[in-house]
Amino acid sequence: MEKIMGVTREIQVKQVNIQDPFWSAMQNRMIDVVLPFQEKVLNDEVEGVEKSHAIENFRIAAGMGEGEFYGMVFQDSDVAKWLEAVAYALSIKPDPQLEQRADAVIQIIAKAQQPDGYLDTYFIIKEPQRRWQNLQECHELYCAGHMMEAAAAYFQATGKDQLLRVTERLAAHIIGRFGPRDEGKEPGVPGHQEVEIGLLKLYRVTGKQKYKDMARFFLEERGKNPDYFYEEKRRRGWQHWGQYSLEPPDNQYNQAHATIYEQKEAVGHAVRAVYMYTAMADLAALDGDRRLYQACQVLWDNIVNKRMYVTGGIGSTAEGEAFTIDYDLPNDMAYAETCASIAMVFFAKRMLENNADGSYADIMERELYNGAASGIQLDGKRYFYVNPLEVQPGVSGKLFGYQHALAQRPGWYACACCPTNLARLVASLGAYCWTERGDTVYSHLFIGQTADLEHAQITIESSYPWEGKVCYRIKPKSRQAFTLAIHLPGYLDLEDGTTKVTVNGEAANIQELTKDGYLYLGRSWEEGDTVAVSFALPVRKLYASQQVRDNAGCVALMRGPVVYCFESADNGSCLQSLRIPAKMEADAFLCQEGILKGNVLLRVKGYRMKGADGLYTQVRPVKEPAELTAVPYYAWANRGEGQMRVWLLEEGV
């Protein structure tokens, strides 16, 4: 096996205390508002939202209640992701009462586990004779993976190992059943990838090689028999959902069409795909496996260069929540599931652990400030599953083909994967800020915080993303020299003099010290040393490839990492009549009131096209000057239902 860069030291959430004008408010809202609300939903204590029954399913499976299983076959995963989010929340803000309630849920889960280690409430309650008979549709391994992630996080946060012991027994059950046929095992693979991530989390916490080996088996077995799921259905003669037939399935849907080393394009269900890529990248970093990393790089390039929205959204069709083909990125029919953007954050971080390339950090940043953040209302009480780039009231969420693209966030979902996924992402944000490898400390994100790292305690003071001012304060733990590598976002112009870096007030040579998007500052640091980074944040125009048919002649606006959009709340109706001048004049201003208070908005001098009456006419529309207002994409749909567009046509002058 050809080796790549040395193994990184994983940063735990409890090592990083976020103190940031942008993210602290979101983290506090997640801990103080979202997690308690989700707990009530999982306990069926909230009226007017979709029933969950998820915790009650565990109570029934544990013999502590009576009734029938209710919900999606993967309902267990909602509880697991909530517990994982709670673990991170406890690392940020200790809460004995929340911890006690989480412990009580874990005790119920432990009682529900079967004597042989099996754990899945659907089959324990409803069809115990059908265990492991439909890996494609029934998500048993998917739920197991999420429970493993929760167990690892809870153990790291609290030191309590009850859930860890539950998932180790579950992992032993899985390892005893799945593996090479010549060992008398089932050469199966998950229908929905996730257990690979969970097994690698168990490996990181316990150091037990068998968990990493099992993850590698699941990854490398995939695609060896492209017809595995079809043959499984034919052999079993049973299926969970009636709409599925016993005809050969689309094996690209769950990336079973080829081995992981042969796959060259991101295809099928977007979340399944990127969870798999995340595990591939994680395993590549752990083992220094260059071949596996290169397989990840091919898939990464296909996504970010040909199959990703400007917001970071991926999976452009509602049909299968899936990738389609290169450059097929419709705005008003976009699917762009919140979970898929979250998965890209996971993937990007694991790629950074293989190779310190700033392009990975750029995508991680784009997802955090746009595609993921748009999934939750500013007050933390409502959620988007789907994140379109254009909505039209009366069409979006209503007409055939557009029913998935809602104009307002619902309060909950029957399939509630995104709300709990968002909770665990935002609560674990500190884990994505740093990588440590050897004598180099990599800073990936300009997020205000204090981080307790191996080489030093580093405090970042940041006014990002609204201002280009970031300061690092270093408190080394020894006299040993180390290198601080700071990610400089790819949109910065390092040649025009607007980006400046000083070390203790002395200018650093950015051009000489920057490689692959990281500025490398190596020295024997002393307590009180500072690194100041300053840069301009002009409003930028983005143009799509001419192969993206929906965006021909259009522009989108960005400032810093934030994508902007236009809403009828600011610009009136008929947003399609607005034009952005080729020679654009735009300025940023801080919103001082209303739900958007504290956000930086854009004021753009543009045009509105006025046409004659009638459906069709020979009279050419005329343009009238108009002052346009753009808001951050993540903040749209917070002021009632209305039109929204990210891309506007450009008007030549």
Tell whether omega for the bond before 330 is within 30 degrees of 0, i.e. cis. no
Determine contact, residues 54/394, Cβ cutoff 8 Å: no
- For the chain, the helix, strand and coil percentages under 3-state DSSP, each to the nearest 5: 40, 20, 45
Residues whose CB is less than 8 angstroms from the CB of residue 146 and which lie 6 or more positions away in sequence, other chains included? 76, 77, 80, 81, 84, 194, 198
CA separation for the pair 652, 635 (Å, rounded): 29
* Structure tokens that stand for 17 in this block: 């205390």
Determine contact, residues 276/260, Cβ cutoff 8 Å: yes
Q: Which strand (E) or helix (H) includes residue 188?
A: none
End-to-end Cα separation, the chain, in angstroms? 58
Residues whose CB is less than 8 angstroms from the CB of residue 278 and which lie 6 or more positions away in sequence, other chains included? 197, 343, 346, 347, 350
Determine contact, residues 109/120, Cβ cutoff 8 Å: no
Q: What is the DSSP string of 316-373?
A: -BTTTTB--STT---STT----HHHHHHHHHHHHHHHHH---HHHHHHHHHIIIIITG
Query: What's the distance, CA 575 to chain centroid?
Result: 30
CA separation for the pair 424, 460 (Å, rounded): 23
Strand partners, 470: 462, 533
Residues whose CB is less than 8 angstroms from the CB of residue 503 and which lie 6 or more positions away in sequence, other chains included? 521, 523, 529, 530, 531
Query: What is the edge-to-edge ordering of all strands in the sheet holding 482-487?
Result: 434-437, 440-443, 482-487, 518-523, 514-515
Active site residues: 321, 417
In this structure, the number of other CB atoms found within 10 A of the CB of residue 336 comes to 29
Residues whose CB is less than 8 angstroms from the CB of residue 100 and which lie 6 or more positions away in sequence, other chains included? none
Determine contact, residues 521/503, Cβ cutoff 8 Å: yes
CA separation for the pair 266, 252 (Å, rounded): 9
In this structure, the number of other CB atoms found within 10 A of the CB of residue 594 comes to 10
Strand partners, 434: 443
CA 577, 394, 402, 376: dihedral to nearest 10 degrees?
90
